[in-house]
Amino acid sequence: MAKSYGIEVDCANCANKMEEAAKATAGVKDCTVNFMTLKMNVTFEDGADELGVMKEVRRNCKKVEDDCEVYI
Amino acid sequence: MNKRQKKTLIRIIIAALLLVVIAVAEPYIEGTGPAYQAVPWAKTVLFVLYLIPYLVIGYDILKKAVKGIIHGQVMDENFLMAVATIGAMALGDYRESVAVMLFYQIGELFQSVAVGKSRRNIAALMDIRPDSANLVTTEDGKETVTSVDPGDVAPGSLIEVVPGEKIPIDGVVERGSSSIDTSALTGESVPRDIAAGDEVISGSINQSGVIYVRTTKAFGESTVSRILELVENASSQKSRSENFISKFARYYTPIVCISALVVAFIPPIVNVITGKDAMLAAFVYRALTFLVISCPCALVISIPLSFFAGIGGASRAGVLVKGSNYLEVLSKADTVILDKTGTLTRGVFEVVSIHKDDIGEDELLKYAAYAEQHSTHPISRSIVNAYGRDIDTSLITDVHEISGRGVEATVSGRKILAGNDKLMDDNGIEYTECPDGGTIVHIAIDGKYAGHIHIADVIKDSSAEAIRELRKMGVSRTIMLTGDSQEVAEKVAQNLAIDDYRAQLLPQDKVDAVESVLNDNSRGRGKVAFVGDGINDAPVLTRADVGIAMGALGSDAAIEAADVVLMDDDPIGIVKAIGIGRKCMRIVYENIWFAIGVKVICLILSALGIANMWVAIFADVGVMVIAVLNAIRTLHISRAGRLVTGHLQNQ
């Protein structure tokens, strides 16, 4: 199951950091962050609680880049 | 500018004004002028005064630095800036401390605005998603038009597209004529004229007249959806340079911090041991300058930005690149393997010449066309097309298609054989070899040889130019792969001045051919690109260092397998793609060498005590601004790409 979320981030490197942080989150199978379109495409593990996982993704992203936002 | 950027700008202005006012007031407070009296506690008063602009401009950096330490992201640029400015404060260099923070924020604001602007540029150009479709429904012979969600339109529906609108779904024009602008899809700026019967792709903009389009696909399978999917999923693959930078940053910052400690404390300790004055403050100042200079922002910001802008610029030029690593591989391609049919040639056969024995040319073509009428083979279709007149099918009886040979049919009571030399051999008919070589259809009437038709796949107009341009760019080897016969391959290769060719390949042989080229190439640094039209060559696209599919928006397998997708089927696109890769990598390396070069020089100067904080600010913020400006140049590729094609058209 894959879903796309809007994000807010200022620099291309921060987007890369967010991508890594999201990938490392439990329940996320794969993730790509597109700096150009400000979108985060998340592929979830089977049976993952999407909302819960995304909240965790947002928390992890804020750890690496304070100035970012993930719109769930 | 967005809200946050405006807020930063206001903070910058306030802090700058405060800084100027305090700096002007400083001599009065310190009493350095002959006529003045020092204010009591002058140093403390100054510190408190300078602390105001410092906090106004730097509070968020300090906050981020603290948060970073809590979250284990210790060595980032916020940390470096916090340590350097707090250190400068501690040494009593209040003015420098505020200035460093101020210029750092100006640099950050500048890059954020520049990046936001270029992002909006690209996003606007890639804004091809249609909002609605005008569905035409007929009831009692009366047509009504309703605006619906494009996703709700079933294939085979009729939609109306008025001038100025985007065509929402792929289809065929049923009524009306117009010209359409496909530049958002292909980078081609000349509008295309369309009329009833023409295929149109979604995402093009209808320019002049109302057209009615019979949809052939659902919205999800239409070109627009495919492109958006590709673009939105791009850039997941990181290039080696990007990985290099993130690794670099990981080791670089700790090394710099340790060096700064060494600069700050080792010389004073040595001084103390040797009995000289320790000069601790001077060396700590040098160490702090060292920290400011070393901030890796210029690199960590500009390198990903170059790739992002490169991919964005490329998609404007009709070249979809799936990840920044492919831009890198493209730039290193020195061998280009091209599929023949559909890539270099149009993939459509045309009758080139007719060699008759003792009947008229027209008659020979007529019999051939009648015999081939029922076959769907591309060769048969080309003969029927070349004949071009109506065919009275009632005259055709007893049609037998003989696989790998040709067709046998009775036309107006005469027995016609149309096919290759094997068909003639099988029927014991003597035939004459065609002097032209290539694909030949022999025709025998009532067991007697009547002549042959020479058919060839037509080479695309720009193929020769594309090969020439590739060579000019330094692609040292071009190889053509084809399933066609030796003679055909040789002729095409000669015509286009291709270095090498492999003929009579089955699809699986193509993979072997590419692999053998890859093995030959493995010693060098050059990469192997494969270009195909996506039909039957998905495995080869995957196998090559970089697989380029052209005009492949119709084929799922090709989009899946390819690393780079050219939106139209013009071979010049290969030249564009490699050119874009080269330009992007050139800018990336320029930035790497420029930033590291300037920083290393300034670091040495500061360690020696020659450079002060102001030099450090240039080495940090100045270099970052220059690197960001340079990175944004990557965006303007499409114009260069168009120039190439424009230049070709003029010749």
Nearest CB to B233 within list A12, A16, A41: A41
Nearest CB to B308 within list A4, A12, A19: A12
pLDDT-derived band of residue B639, with 50, 70 and 90 as boundaries?
very low
Interface probe for B, chosen from A3, A7, A9, A16 (most Cβ of B below 10 Å), is: A16
The number of folded domains in chain B is 3
Q: Answer yes or no: do B250 and B115 share one domain.
A: yes
pLDDT of B506-549, one tens digit each?
777 888 888 888 888 776 678 899 998 777 778 888 888 899 98
* pLDDT reading at B467 higher than 90: yes
Could you tell me if A59 lies within 8 Å of chain B, comparing CB atoms? no
What are the structural domain ranges in chain A?
2-71
DSSP state, residue B38:
P
In a domain, B627, yes or no: yes
Report pLDDT for B642.
Answer: 44
Residues of chain A with confidence (pLDDT) below 50: none
Report pLDDT for B640.
Answer: 43
Nearest CB to A11 within list B115, B242, B312: B115
Q: Catalytic one among B76, B93, B170, B339?
A: B339
Q: Answer yes or no: do B101 and B47 share one domain.
A: yes
Report pLDDT for B125.
Answer: 62
Q: Answer yes or no: do B205 and B111 share one domain.
A: no
Report pLDDT for B36.
Answer: 65
Q: Answer yes or no: do B380 and B274 share one domain.
A: no
Mean pLDDT for chain B? 83
Q: Report ipTM for this prediction.
A: 0.80
* pLDDT reading at B118 higher than 50: yes
Q: What is the mean pLDDT of residues B463-474?
A: 91
pLDDT of B142-177, one tens digit each?
888 888 888 888 888 899 998 888 888 989 999 888
Which residues in chain A are closer than 8 Å to B126, comparing Cβ atoms?
A: 36-37
- CATH code for the domain of B392: 3.40.1110.10
Q: Answer yes or no: do B145 and B114 share one domain.
A: no
Q: What is the mean pLDDT of residues B339-350?
A: 80
Percentage of residues of chain B with pLDDT beyond 70: 91
CA distances from B51 to B10, B89, B94 (A): 18, 9, 8
Could you tell me if A43 lies within 8 Å of chain B, comparing CB atoms? no
In a domain, B517, yes or no: no
Q: What is the fold, at CATH topology level, of the domain defined by A2-71?
A: Alpha-Beta Plaits (3.30.70)
In a domain, B74, yes or no: yes
Report pLDDT for B54.
Answer: 93
* pLDDT reading at B440 higher than 50: yes
With an 8 Å Cβ cutoff, are B233 and A13 in contact? no
Could you tell me if A29 lies within 8 Å of chain B, comparing CB atoms? no
In this predicted structure, which of B32-41, B328-337, B412-421 has the lowest mean pLDDT? B32-41
pLDDT of B549-595, one tens digit each?
887 665 677 777 888 988 878 889 899 999 999 999 999 999 989 99
Q: Answer yes or no: do B158 and B280 share one domain.
A: no
For the ranges B93-102, B245-254, B370-379, the maximum mean pLDDT occurs at B93-102
* pLDDT reading at B619 higher than 80: yes
* pLDDT reading at B649 higher than 60: no
Q: Answer yes or no: do B115 and B248 share one domain.
A: yes
Q: Answer yes or no: do B62 and B161 share one domain.
A: no
Burial of B453 (0-12, 13-18, 19+ CB in 10 A): buried
Q: Answer yes or no: do B115 and B147 share one domain.
A: no
In a domain, B564, yes or no: no
Residue B392 annotated among the catalytic residues of the structure? no
With an 8 Å Cβ cutoff, are B112 and A41 in contact? no
Domain boundary among B459, B480, B515: B459
Which residues in chain B are closer than 8 Å to A11, comparing Cβ atoms?
A: 111-112, 115, 301, 304-305
d(CA B438, CA B68): 70
Which residues in chain B are closer than 8 Å to A41, comparing Cβ atoms?
A: 232-233
φ, ψ (nearest 5 deg) of residue B206: -75, 130
Q: Answer yes or no: do B209 and B243 share one domain.
A: no
pLDDT of B210-243, one tens digit each?
999 999 988 888 888 877 777 766 655 667 777 7
With an 8 Å Cβ cutoff, are B235 and A41 in contact? no
**Residue B396 lies in domain:** 346-459
Give me the DSSP letters along B377-445.
SHHHHHHHHHH-S---GGGEEEEEEETTTEEEEEETTEEEEEE-HHHHHHTT---PPPTT-SEEEEEEE
